[in-house]
Amino acid sequence: MSPLSTVAPPTIKKPSAVRTRMRSGARYAPTLATLVLFILMFIVGAGMYPSFLSGQVLLNLFIDNTFLIVLAVGMTFVILTGGIDLSVGAVVALSMMVTATMLQNGWNPGIVILAVLVIGGGLGLLMGLIIQYFDIQPFIVTLAGMFLARGLCYVISLESIPVTDPFFTGMAQARIPLSEELFISPGVLIALVVVGVAFFVLHHTRFGRTVYAIGGNEHSAMLMGLAVKSTKVLVYSVSGLCSAIAGILFSFYSLSGYSLAAQGMELDAIAAVVIGGTLLTGGVGYVLGSVVGVLVLGIVQTFIAYDGTLSSWWTKIVIGGLLLVFILLQRLFTRRTN
Amino acid sequence: MAAHVVQNLPRAATARINTEKISRMNELAPVVEMTGIAIGFPGVKALDDVSFRLFPGEVHALMGENGAGKSTLIKALTGVYTIDSGRITVLGQQKNFSTPAESQAAGVSTVYQEVNLCPNLTVEENVLLGREPRRRGSIDWRSVRTRTREVLAQLHLEHVDPGSLLSEHSIAVQQLIAIARSVEVNAKVLVLDEPTSSLDADEVNQLFRVIRDLRDRGVAILFVSHFLEQVYELSDRMTVLRNGKLVGEYMTRELSRMNLISKMIGKDLEVLEELDQASARSQARLAAGAQPFMQAEGLGRKGSVSGVNLSIYPGEVVGLAGLLGAGRTETARLLFGADKSDEGSIKVKGQPLKLRSPRTAIDHGIGFCSEDRKEEGLIGDLTVRDNLVLAMQATKGWARRIPRRVQDELVAEFIETLDIRPANPDALIRNLSGGNQQKVLLARWMVTSPDLLILDEPTRGIDIGAKTQIQKLVNRLASEGMSILFISSELEEVLRLSDRIAIIKDRAMVAEISNDDVSVEDVLTVIAGGAQ
Amino acid sequence: MKSVLKNRLAWPVIALVALLAVNQIFRGDFLSLRMQDGHLYGSIIDIMRNGAPTILIALGMTLVIASRGIDLSVGAVVAIAGAASCAYIAASPEPASPATAAVAVVIAVVAGLVLGVWNGFLVSTIGVQPIIATLVLMTAGRGIAQLITDGQIVSVTNDSYKAIGAGYLFTLPISILITAVVFILAAVLTRRTALGTLIEAVGINPVASRLAGLRARNIIWIVYIFSAFCAAIAGLMISSNVTAADANNAGLYIEMDAILAVVIGGTSLAGGRYSLVGTVVGAFIIQTLTTTVYTLGIPPEVTLVFKALVVLTVCLLQAPKARNLLRNLKPASPLRTKEKVAV
């Protein structure tokens, strides 16, 4: 019994500096590709329709998609851990229903918003707890969460409920001027604050780094003594909270609550996150990438609106196509790095 | 407390203390003391009344066959498992770990065989994950960088860029980074679970230098390895386990290799000698001028192996020797089409053949038992029967199911001839022991009656009884006319079984020698010198 | 008794029986069947008829899940199949003839097969994760269906076509018979051949399967094609039942129901061993649940809430951790149970 490995031929393997830099750069490649795509689309749009080339068209992408930005932020947390949250669209609808109903019954808008946040965060927390402590796939638990939230919407009302509260209508109509011609809505500010907070949390707190660690290798993260369990529970709570915020922003935007609202929005959120460069297996991705992903989806819609001859269903087909392209790109990148 | 411990030390340990550590009496208290540990899983008693002690400044090897309870004991110490009964004290304090985090907080750090870090994060993040220095609630990335540089320098890893991704580095460097992580916490106890199994010799030396360094700084090191030579090279003391029970604690230099082995397996080594006679077979079988079954010429793959020239004749056993990581498995995978070659050529029965997939190889009469039984061999949730006929069924295609009656006959035959236990065709294969799983996998290929069977480490990690059976089987198959390519880390085994030996070094084939009166030393000379 | 409870089918069957019992208690005639005009009527028949599309899709989904995959695109395939067949009938010169209906059926099935080939291509050849690969078609599919119908709801008047979803044959609804035929087809396809075992092998350990000479690519292709085939038949059934193609709402959320049926039926979402009978039982549970909501006089709006709770309960009952919890009334070390499964 003489294992050979005690004999030593002297060879030293060191990764060359060039290779190192290239590989590290690959982390940002998908997100950069999305950014380039966005800029190209904008340039092409400007070439085709002169009115496209205005700052306000760009700002409208934000104004029209505040809720989707916030949803994508929450979804990014979940997908980074390697999970998925299918409940977000339904939680948006539920938040809108709760908002509309409570306001209709004369509650103070502040309390309404607080209640919605608590409900959204609480639902997320509940799903996270079930996923973690009973070891059930996130996919199926959040699916149940989706049914639950949608069902609760139906229970509240099958009809659309208008929102007439002065604070909400004020928020819906308010415009924050940036220059003489350019403006944004308060919702955009809120969404950007959410993005900023998420960025800080993901990159400058231990919680955020644990999110990435779990996506990289959950078992290792556990053996390294990280707070894996609580982090995994919390990301769903973060996603639930983001859904609630998105619901409020959507209420600002649509000034109503409707139980069938935000159907399929979870797909848009997932698409935005994927197009923004987050690996669906977790561990790699950026919240800013997801924002760019939302903007790409937004610009597709703007395109189709500008064109006038294209029917609305082309949006779905194009988003599906983009999703496909980016998935294939991901495939290419992960193959190369492995 | 300390005095009490000294009195209870076994004679060997006291001797060492008296001679070597007399000036450090205050460190005599064990850092870790585990007494009467029991852990049971449904139906199995994994650990039964096991005691274990670890002293500062020593490398302590935990020895035993697979299934002896080594991993379980380690996992009890590192908080992955909770113990059913017994007592664990670390630094004199009684502990009841229920998570790895608690164990780490108590000063116990662990580096596992499959590097348990996050490949998607940078080196510095991996070193400091969960302990990042913070300023006003925000991670202070500048301090993270400085701190990582310091720690890496301590382990002679200055060339590693703290900002590079972990996945860019070799397994060896990743393992050292894992150690860096434990150095960073100032761990009192470092547990190394099979750290060398995927390293080449040079990397092992680098690792050992770091381990000795840490030991000299007073860290208590618990070392688990299947490589006896490494254990003898590195460890001061060892604890031997068998079947979940404690056999004893010994000074390494006072326990001979033979004694250690008999304590690990609990019986003498007659079986091995018996086999020696069985393998004394004549070379006459190889008729002059016979056509080789398979010929590889200059076979290679970028980043894997190159220059493999190998002819395998019907009815002979060709041994593939070389250092672990030298390219043995890679060669086997090329010959089986598991990886595609990008240079050289293969001829089967004189006809050129392009191996695009394992399936092509199988269709041409080649079989391959991977070294990684669990990941690349077993279909764990299927039965012994399904696993056994899988390769045969695969060649027939899904539409032509092997009739149940034929399946039953085949399975019954192989359960009997290979002595597979339990002899139940409908048992799930994941519930079988390693040796029996290996036999089922061998049977999977035997039912396809291949002309060439490639066996990559078929006897690793299985008990001695099954090992002997498999070695005998290799002999028998060859004498029935099958060609066998036999890969093993144990040179003696290769020498005993093979007619010829091909030697792989530094990811290229360097020599081919006929095995008459070749000794282990001869082969080692080739490997060390690279001479033809 | 204990060994009976250990059977994977035990819990789903108990749940189904319990649900039926609840209905029988609240409505005495629930389990009774009656003949009228040579047709069999009764709540059970209704449940089977309404559940037929879900069962069909769940059968396909079972094999996909067993191969370690998932098919989220089935709802979109339902919409496309319905849209294609109805658009053809509406545009044909003889919109009422049986021949037109036959061609429409062929078109829908071929459309389904093509979409299945597409999904299979992405998963097996390109190597995209199934959940993502089928997400593409799930997102784009309804757009394609709307493209076919030009965004309209296409109504058709064709008795032969209507018979698929609403007709009777041998006293039974044709949709039930079609479902039974597909079930038998699936059972024969997987158990009389080696397909079932090979699907399980690929689902349990793809790497080892490849090294054993298995051509996983073909197997994976077959399961996605079969899944889309089932979805296309279901799409025909749904559009035929309402004699119209609704690109937006046909088969909406049916992928969820199908996945739930599979999970309730005892097939693990992690792939590997599966049970077609379990899936059928699971689909019945889901359909019976909807009926139960009506029977109990609960407002139908609540159905979804109810479904969510049942799904959670079933998943909890199947989760090893929850079972341990029930058995010992104290939490077992989670890691140890995991380790045991792995070994």
How many other C-beta atoms lie within 10 A of the C-beta of residue A114?
11
- The C-side interface with B (CB below 8 A) comprises 192-195, 197-198, 200-201, 204-205, 207-215, 218-219, 222, 272-273, 333, 335-336, 339-340, 343
Could you read off the pLDDT of A44-89 as tens digits, one per residue?
888 888 777 778 888 888 988 999 999 999 999 999 998 989 899 9
Name the residue type at position A204.
H
Q: Of B449, B480, B503, at which residue does a domain stop?
A: B449
Give me the phi and psi of C141, to 5 degrees please.
Answer: -60, -45
User: Cβ separation of B112 and A223 shorter than 8 Å?
Assistant: yes
| B398/B521 same-domain check | no
CA A110 – CA A115 distance, rounded (Å): 9
CA–CA distance, B230 with B200 (Å, rounded to integer): 12
Distance CA B406, CA B403 (A): 5
The closest alpha carbon to B447, from B479, B483, B485, B412, belongs to B412
The C-alpha angle with vertex C218 and arms to C214 and C221, in degrees rounded to 5, equals: 140
Query: Hey, what amino acid is at C198?
Result: L
pLDDT score of A333: 67
| Shared-domain flag, residues B296 and B440 | no
In a domain, A1, yes or no: no
pLDDT confidence band for B137 (50 / 70 / 90): confident
For B215-259, give the secondary structure using H, E and C: HHCCCEEEEECCCHHHHHHHCCEEEEEECCEEEEEEEHHHCCHHH
Whether residue C4 is predicted with pLDDT greater than 70 in this model: the reply is: no
Q: pLDDT (tens digit, 9 = 90+) per residue, A128-139?
A: 999 988 888 888
pLDDT of C294 over the 60 cut: yes
The 3-state DSSP class for residue B86 equals strand
Q: Indicate whether B354 and B408 sit together in one domain.
A: no
B44, two tokens: 């199995």
From first CA to last CA, the distance across chain C in angstroms is 28
- Domain membership of residue A52 (yes or no) is yes
Task: Measure the CA–CA gap between A316 and A293, rounded to whole angstroms.
Answer: 15
- Domain assignment of residue B402, given as a range: 377-449
Q: What is the CATH number of the domain that holds A63?
A: 1.10.3470
Tally Cβ neighbours within 10 Å of residue C80. 34
For residue B282, the model assigns a pLDDT of 41
Residue C96: which of C167, C165, C163, C159 has the closest Cα?
C159
- Secondary structure element (H or E) that encloses residue B59, with its range: strand B59-63
Q: Report how far residue B26's alpha carbon sits from residue A87's, in angstroms, rounded to the nearest whole number.
A: 60
Domain extent, residue A322, equals: 31-332
Whether residues A280 and C129 touch (CB distance < 8 A) is answered with: yes
In a domain, A14, yes or no: no
Chain B (377-416) residues lying within 8 Å, Cβ to Cβ, of chain A: none
Subunits in contact with chain B (3 or more CB pairs closer than 8 Å): A, C
pLDDT 10s digits, B250-305? 888 888 776 776 677 665 444 444 444 434 444 444 555 578 888 888 888 876 77
Average the pLDDT over A25-32 and give the result: 72
3-state secondary structure B101-143: HHHHHCCEEEECCCCCCCCCCEHHHHHHCCCCCEECCEECHHH
Indicate whether B113 belongs to any domain: no
The set of residues, in sequence order, having a beta carbon less than 8 Å from that of C216 and lying 6+ positions away, is: C124, C202, C206, C209, C210
User: For residue A3, is the peptide bond before it cis, meaning its omega torsion is within 30 degrees of 0?
Assistant: no
CB neighbour list of residue B358: distance below 8 Å, 6 or more residues apart: B336, B337, B338, B368, C210, C211, C212, C213
Regarding whether B464 and B440 lie in a shared domain, the answer is no
For A143, the closest chain C residue by CA position comes to C256
| Residue where one domain finishes, among candidates B400, B425, B449 | B449
Token readout for C64 is 């996909």
pLDDT per position as a tens digit, C250-288: 777 788 888 888 888 888 777 788 888 889 998 988 888
Which SS3 state, helix, strand or coil, does residue A258 take?
A: coil
Could you tell me if B335 and B462 lie in one domain? yes
Quote the strand ranges of B184-336, DSSP E: 189-193, 220-224, 237-242, 245-251, 294-301, 305-312, 317-322
Q: Is C281 in contact with C226 (CB distance < 8 Å)?
A: no
Q: Are both B461 and B532 inside the same structural domain? A: yes
Give per-residue pLDDT as tens, B173-204: 888 888 888 877 778 888 988 777 667 677 78
pLDDT in tens, C32-80: 777 777 777 777 788 888 888 999 999 999 999 999 888 888 989 999 9
Within a domain: residue B489? yes
We report the CATH number of the domain holding residue B329 as 3.40.50.300
In this structure, the strands spanning B245-251 and B237-242 are antiparallel
Please tell me the total count of domains within chain B: 2
Q: Is residue A5 part of a domain?
A: no
In a shared domain, residues B353 and B463: yes
Q: Tell me how long chain A is.
A: 338
In a domain, B130, yes or no: no
Token pair recorded at residue C10: 């035990």
Angle value at C-alpha A140, between A139 and A146, nearest 5 degrees: 90
Asked if B531 and B461 sit in the same domain, the reply is yes
| Per-chain mean pLDDT for chain B | 79
Q: Which of residues 18-77 of B touch A (CB under 8 A)?
A: none
SS3 of residue B508 by DSSP: strand
pLDDT at B187: 80
Structural domain includes residue A54? yes
pLDDT in tens, C119-153: 999 888 887 878 878 888 887 888 888 888 877 77
Using a pLDDT cut of 70, give the percent of chain B over it. 83
Flag whether residue A169 sits within 8 Å of chain B, measured between CB atoms: no
Q: Which residues of B touch C (CB under 8 A)?
A: 41-42, 80-82, 98, 336, 338, 357-359, 362-363, 368, 370, 375-382, 386, 390-391, 393-402, 430, 444
Chain A contact for B319 (CB, 8 A cutoff): no
Task: Say how many C-beta atoms besides its own lie within 10 A of residue B4's C-beta.
Answer: 8
Work out the minimum CA distance from B391 to partner chain C, whole angstroms: 5
Report which of residues A247 and C340 the model is more confident about.
Answer: A247
Which range has the worst mean pLDDT, A238-252, B18-32, B365-379, C97-111? B18-32
Buried b (16+ CB within 10 A) or exposed e, A207-235: bbbbbbbbbbbbebbbbbbbbbbebbbbb
In angstroms, the CA B521 to CA B116 distance is 37
Angle formed at CA C294 by CA C289 and CA C297, multiple of 5 degrees: 125
In a domain, A15, yes or no: no
Distance CA B110, CA B108 (A): 7
Cβ proximity of C81 and C74 under 8 Å: no
Which sign, positive or negative, has the C-alpha torsion B480, B486, B490, B496? positive
Are residue B352 and residue B461 in the same domain, yes or no?
A: yes
From chain A, the residues in CB contact with B136 under 8 A are none
Rounded distance between C-alpha atoms, residue A250 and residue B484, angstroms: 69
**Segments in A217-285 forming alpha helices (H):** 218-223, 228-254, 265-275
- B481 near B313, Cβ under 8 Å? no
Read off the pLDDT of each residue in A149-172 and give the average, rounded to a whole number: 86
Residue ranges per structural domain of chain C? 2-297, 303-343
Domain membership flag for residue A24 = no
What CATH number has the domain spanning C2-297?
1.10.3470
The minimum CA-CA distance between A141 and chain C, rounded to whole Å, is 7
Is residue B67, in this structure, part of any structural domain at all?
no
DSSP C107-170: HHHHHHHHHHHHHHIIIIII---HHHHHHHHHHHHHHHHHHHHTTS-EE---HHHHHHHH-EET
Per-residue pLDDT at A277 exceeds 90: no
Question: Tell me, what's the pLDDT at B43?
Answer: 60
State both tokens at A23: 């590989």
B326 and B467, same domain (yes or no): yes
**Total domains in the fold of chain A:** 1
DSSP C257-288: HHHHHHHHTT--TT-S---HHHHHHHHHHHHH
Regarding whether B416 and B343 lie in a shared domain, the answer is: no
- B336 and B409 housed in the same domain: no
Inside any domain, residue B482: yes
How remote is the C-alpha of C29 from its chain's centroid? Answer: 28
- A16, part of any domain: no
Closest by CA to A182, choosing from A269, A291, A61, is A61
